[in-house]
Structures are given as C-alpha cells and as structure tokens.
Amino acid sequence: MSDKVLMKGNEAAAEAAIRAGCRYFFGYPITPQTEVSAYMAKKMPKIDGVFLQAESEVAAINMVFGAAGAGARAMTSTSSPGFSLKQEGVSYIAGADLPCVILDVVRAGPGLGGIQAAQSDYFQVTKGGGHGDYRLIVLAPSTVQEMATFTALAFDLADKYRNPALVLSDGILGQMMEPIDFDDVEAGFDPSKIRDFSDKPWATTGTNCKRGQNLIKSINTNPVELEQENIERYAKYAEVEKNEKRCETIGVENADVLFVAYGTSARICKNTIELLKKERVTAKLFRPITLWPFPDDALKLAAKNVKAVVVVEMSHGQMIEDVRLNIQDKPIYFSGRSGGMIPLPADIAKVAIDAVSVIKNDGSNTYEGGRE
Amino acid sequence: MEKVFSKPHVLTDTPTHYCPGCTHGVIHRIVAKVIDDLGIEGDTIGISPVGCAVFMYNYFHCDFQQAAHGRAPAVATGVKRVHPDKIVFTYQGDGDLAAIGTAETVHAATRGENITIVYINNSIYGMTGGQMAPTTLMGQVTQTTPYGREASTQGFPIGIAEMLSTLEGPSYIKRCAVDSIKHIKDTEESLRVAFQRQIDKKGFSLVEILSTCPTNWGMPPLEAMEWERENVFKVFPLGLYKDKEINFYHKDVANADEKAIKASENSGTDCDSIKEED
Amino acid sequence: MTTHSILLSGFGGQGILFAGKLLAYMGLIMDKNVSWLPSYGPEMRGGTANCNVIISDDTIGSPIINNPSTLICMNKPSFNKFVPMVEKNGLVVLDSSLIDIKGERGDINFVEIPATQIATDNQHPKLANMVMLGRTLKELNLGDESVVISALKKTIPNRKIEMLEVNKKAILAGYNFT
C-alpha cells in the first residue's frame, strides 16, 4: 500500500496551500466549502500561521489584499454567492497586480440558490465578473489529488505573474474523499522563505528608512497612464496565454463524438464514453484544465476529425460559449443539468447518439451553428 | 539661529490637492509629526481610503496600500497579521468608515486588531461633491438632503466613538477636533497615545477628528469652524470614550486539549461514528 | 476488472459515513481506486444520510452512483428510495431489525440481517453499521481480516484506538452471521 491517505477535496486543498507556503488564510463560512476554514483553523495556529474568520466575504478578500500586498502567500475560499461578494476585492487585487489564491467550491444559483454542486460560476470566474479589464488564472481540478496539486500550482502561477489565481471546484469535489499523495503536490516554495519577502521587493514591508516608498494601489486618475497600465497588464496576460494553457484529452483518436467538459462533468463524461461503447458510438473527452487561459488550439485539434461536439456542464451552458468561439465547422450540442442536479451518463449518451444519427441522416457534418 | 519649527521628515514635498481651508492638511501634519516623534517612519505602513484622502500616499514617505471604499480596516488587518511588528494605520473619512465600511470598522475594533485608525468626521461626502454622510447633522443641507436631513427618510447621525466604546475589543477611543490651537495640541497628544498603544501591542485604537469642509458646506473656512463649534460639537461631544488595557488571552494550541479538537471533529459531515459509542 | 458501486444509506447518526469511509480505506489498502461521496447539507441533521463508495480496478469516472451494485440499507425510507435503483443481479443487504418490508424485485439478491439486534446483544447498539459491513464483506468476498484491521486503524482516531477491538468484533459478528 502506498502512503496515500483518504481526504476530502476541501481538506486536500487546504493542506496543499499550507505545503505551498501559505500561512495567511482569511475565511467566511459557507456550504459546501466550510471544511477549508475548519482545517485552516485547526492547523494554522500550530505552524505559526494565521487563520482569521472575517466578518464577511468582502472583508476576507480585502484581508487577502492587505496580506498579499505585504508580501505573503495569502488565500481565501468560498462558494458561489460568497465569490460574488469577493468580486470587488478581486478586481482591486488584479488592478494592484497582487498574487493570491482563491478557492471557489461552486454551488447552484442564482441568488442564494442551493448548496448542491454546480458549475454555474464559469462566467463569473473566467469573464472578469468584477469591474475593469482584468483576468483571473483559473484552474479546474477534477479529482481530490488535483484539488491539492492545483492549489499549490495556483500559488506558483500567482507569484510568477503577480496575478490572482482561482481554483474552481464544486460541491462534489469539495465533499468527496479520494486517495491523495502529497508527494505528488509540487509546491515550488522553499519553506525557509515563508517570512522572507526579499523576492517581492514591491511589498509593503516598511521602508526601514533605507528605500523609497512601496505603494500598492489600483487607482490612477490619469487616463493616459491608466491605459498604459492596462496595456502592460494585457502584455502579461498574453504571456500567461502563451505559457499556461493546460488540458487533457482522453479516449480514442478517431472518435465520432467529442465531449468537452471540466471538473466533475468531465468525470461523468468518462462514464458516458464507456456507455457509448455498447452503442457502438466512439467518443473522446477534451477536458480544459485552465479555464482561463482557455486551451483553444488544443480544442481545435481535438475537434478536427469528429462528427459532433457535445459540451457537458452542470449549468445551462456557460463554457459552451468558449467552445463555439473556437469550433465553427462542427455541430455543437449541449447536455447539462442545473440547480444541483447532476447530469446522468445515459442522458448525455442520448444527446451524443442523436447527434451522430442526425449527421448520418444529413449525410454531412458541416452545418452552421448546431443546436442545443 | 535656533530652528524652532520644521516640516516633519515623513512628509514629502508634494503639494496637497486639498481645497483651501480643508483640515486634511492640518491632520496629515499632526499624523506625520507623531510618526516622526515616535521614530517609526521606516516601520509604518499606511492604508489610504476612498474619499478626499485617497491620494495621501503622495504626501508621506512611508509604505502605503490604497484600499477599496470602506475596506481599509480589513486591508490593515491583512498587513498587520503579516507584519505584527510594523505600525499599521488607516486614515478614513466618515462615508468610508461609518457607511460603506461599518462592518469592517466594527469587526476590526471588536477583534482588538492591533492597528490605529485616524477617522475624519466632517459630516459630508467631500470627494463626490457634498452628499449626505451618516454623520450629517439633522437639518443639514447637502446635495442629497436639499431640504435638510430629516429623520423620517434619513434617520439620525452615527456616533462612531460612542458606538465603538461599547465594545470589549478597543483599547483607546477618543474624539478630537482641529478648530483651535488647543484642540490641535490635544489631537496630537491623542494620536501619540493611539500609536503608542499599537507599538505596545495593546490593541485597537481610534481617534475621531471632527473636521470642516468649507467647499461643500458652502462657507468660508473661519465661518465653517464657527459652525462646527456651534453645531457639530453638540452632536459629537469631544472627549475620551475608552481607555483600557485589553488583556488578550493567548491559548497555547500546541498543547490544546483533546476536547476542543474533538468538538470540531464531530461537527459537520466529518465521519466519526465512533463518537456514538460514548 | 471489477467495480463495486456501493451505496450506504440510513439515518444520520447510524454511522453510515463512517462505514463508507472504512470500506473506502479497505479499497485503498488493497491498491484499488476508490472514491467516497457523502450526501451533505441540512438533511444530515437527523434526517437520511447516504454515502457513495466506489472500489474499482479502473480509474473512477463519476463518483456519483446512479445504479448501485450493492445497497447497504439501514432504514425504511432508503429501502423504498434506493432498491428500485439497484442494478440487475445486484445485492441489497438490509437491517431486518429496522426494515420489515420484503424485497419484491426478483432480479437482485436480498440479504437480511438483524444488525441492530446483533449489535445490541453485543452491548454496542451503535455498531450496527459494522455488523452490516461485515455481512456485506462476506457476500462480496471483499478483503480479509488484515485489511479490515488496517482500515480500522486508519479510520479510528488515535484517542479512540481502544474502540478498534469492539468494531472488529462487530464486523466479525456480521461476517459470521448465518
């Protein structure tokens, strides 16, 4: 037996953050992510770290702003309604070019919605959500192991690009237990540097009267200068797009159907692919791992020889817009459930079978737009 | 010749953007003098608000972070938790601190967060052009109370010093003014106590400073001071509201008792059916 | 290649999640792929609780079990709700001390065991979950005593380690029930 332990996704993410050098966690209770706070509350005081339960999600993200600006690896976690509240702070953090990590364990909406798992935060995490021109680096785990690995990776990417990074989970990934091996959690962080801020010379650590002022801010009322700041930030985003697109393709090369799904939906698609084998329909899965930057070229390649594309989401279709932007010459179908309902492999399989049979009847695979 | 007066070292040479007759300049200088006197310039990290003082980082040499509207106490909390030995202060107006940021203010205070808040109360939103603030007096005319503030629609002014002094967490809460030399000296002394409280790690300190806004009150500066004395002082009495050493009990979690851990493990969906055997 | 999709269900407080965790650890110890997914939310507080455990030679796709191969059932509401979902030729292990309904499906195997009664007779009424688990392990021919003990060591907190022996006894009582 390996050294693997069984852990909930929420706890695995929390432990990985600690291993990645995070000693400042600011939380606020909301189901289904509260285990993250509970884990941090238990561990942080024992390792000279800080767990603080804030008065609101708004306060928590602004505490992250302060701690990140002060040079530390800082984190907060929440679920969908809480992330809506954090959007203000996220925009300020992006505008001040601060690195930090946010975990969003998505639940069904809109409004207070329900506490069961969903993927309906895709828009608000990948398309900004807060005000202004900015981007979040978004990683979408689909296993408990990835909850850990991607949380640690998020810290590295955040520091590398001085940009907030978000781990997009859901209620199922947060609550489920799977074996996890922390040796596989690559944290590019030297534990001896936890309170050494020398590699962040911009941080507000006090001038010690030996250097000029360090200033963390997003305000600039000079349009010429503010536009220039935005241009420079977009040059940074171009670098991120060049270097950090991540994805996974699973299944036979020459499949008829391409599923596009992330996180829990991607796992359900794997079952669907097995189900379709019995129906003699070949299918493969394209799983975006970074939702921003979206792995567009890899998607185009994966879709090259398929007859139809089926996007599967636990929502009414959000990522499908990015799929449509990248695939114009194939019919694109959608199969999804919302409100905390989970797509059934049989229902998804039916959409795939229908898609393939429509094409066979048409005798072509090149019609405009497709349908949902 | 003996030098008897000079600009505090922590202040920069940048001319301020404040209106003529505004008291922000006076208060900046007092804060700067206290920082100089305590010898903490190199250790100080300021948090500027949203409002007229948003650009105050241009006037100080020390490190600064600029916070979202009302969030300065939360940002200060983040900074202070990372650098507990540095001196962290926020400088906030009444719209920022007593309206949009009330929750952040109250909770930083009740946590006894070891920071200092310089709270400027001039009864109006200055930067946006003179709208009603939570501290606007009854009957006071502003852009959004053109017939005077009236309780049936706008409620009553908030006394932050009074409210926070009911909490256990704060160590030092004082209300001052800068309308006279006497009051200016008192403000300086109060800020010195407030910052010293933080240096001594004795907890949360807040100094509320009553101020004028000649531009938006529509009065010449001296007349504004007079109006302040006759009206504002009656609603917001000057004085010491709280002065108490807070004893922060620190639990040694390395040897935390098993019961506490057990209680947390048994909550939520943690699988612990063994507990049912008790 | 085998996959066990085991749905454990009952009331909150019967140790459903714990029994599931023990099963998952057994799978892990046997070098299988495993997943454990609880129901969560307000229904946990005294209502029904259920838990999805998958033990497989293959990589696990969805952790959600739509059609369990095995149902471990410890109350009537879950019996009524979940029996229709059990896959053909599947197994239902039910606590006959608590469920007085007879299974009507002819295409699945019903195994009855008065688990709560057995546990009560053994002076540990709350370990009916372990009795149920023991009976299930026998029926599925899953794991052996050393695997069970290793899994118990992983799931019982250190401060409660004295409970290992009674848990083991309860599992054996279920396993040996005829």
Give, as one character, the DSSP assignment of residue B145: B
CATH of A247-362, one of 3.30.930.10, 3.40.50.300, 3.40.50.920, 1.10.287.130: 3.40.50.920
Among candidates B52, B217, B71, which has minimal Cα distance to B137?
A: B217
Q: How far is CA A327 from CA A95, A252, A300, A313, A353, in A?
A: 32, 20, 6, 17, 20
Q: Is the ipTM of this complex over 0.90?
A: yes
The parent domain of residue B40 ranges over: 24-251
A positions 98-137 inside 8 Å of C (CB): 115-116
CATH code, domain carrying C162: 3.40.920.10
Beta partners for B239? B175
The model's pLDDT over B201-247, given as tens digits with 9 standing for 90+, comes to: 999 999 999 999 999 999 999 999 999 999 999 999 999 999 998 88
In a domain, B123, yes or no: yes
**What total number of domains does chain B contain?**
1
Minimum Cα–Cα distance from A215: chain B residue: B64
Minimum Cα–Cα distance from C39: chain B residue: B269
The model's pLDDT over A57-92, given as tens digits with 9 standing for 90+, comes to: 999 999 999 999 999 999 999 999 999 999 999 999
**What total number of domains does chain C contain?**
1
Sort A120 into a burial class: Cβ within 10 Å, 0-12 / 13-18 / 19+.
Answer: buried
CATH code, domain carrying B108: 3.40.50.970
Task: Say which of C16, C20, C163 has its CB closest to residue B277.
Answer: C163
A293 close to A273: Cβ distance less than 8 angstroms:
no
The model's pLDDT over A229-250, given as tens digits with 9 standing for 90+, comes to: 999 999 999 999 999 999 999 9
Average pLDDT, chain C: 93
The answer on pLDDT for A2 being more than 60 is: no
Cβ pairs B/C, distance under 8 A: 40
Task: Say which of A5, A172, A267 has its CB closest to residue C61.
Answer: A267
The model's pLDDT over C114-150, given as tens digits with 9 standing for 90+, comes to: 999 999 999 999 999 999 999 999 999 999 999 999 9
Cβ pairs A/B, distance under 8 A: 148
Report how far residue A123's alpha carbon sits from residue B127's, in angstroms, rounded to the nearest whole number: 34
Task: Say which of B45, B83, B107 has its CB closest to residue A59.
Answer: B107
The answer on pLDDT for B271 being more than 60 is: no
Which residues on chain A are in Cβ contact (under 8 Å) with C34? Answer: 6, 178-179
- CB contact under 8 Å between B273 and C40, yes or no, is no
Minimum Cα–Cα distance from C20: chain B residue: B271
Q: What are phi and psi of B154, to 5 degrees?
A: -120, 0
Asked, colleague to colleague, whether A5-203+232-242 and A247-362 share their fold, the answer is yes
A positions 218-237 inside 8 Å of C (CB): none
The answer on pLDDT for B274 being more than 50 is: no
Identity of the amino acid at A207: T
Which residues on chain A are in Cβ contact (under 8 Å) with B65? Answer: 65-66, 69, 96, 204, 215-217
CATH of A5-203+232-242, one of 3.40.50.360, 3.40.50.970, 1.10.1660.10, 3.40.50.300: 3.40.50.970
Query: Given pLDDT bands bounded at 50, 70 and 90, which one contains residue C157?
Result: confident
The answer on pLDDT for C100 being more than 50 is: yes
The parent domain of residue C81 ranges over: 3-175
- C164 in contact with B, Cβ within 8 Å: no
> Which residue ranges make up each domain of chain A?
5-203+232-242, 247-362
B positions 63-92 inside 8 Å of A (CB): 63-68, 71, 74-83, 86
Residue B166 is predicted with a pLDDT of: 97
In a domain, B150, yes or no: yes
Which residues on chain A are in Cβ contact (under 8 Å) with C43? Answer: none
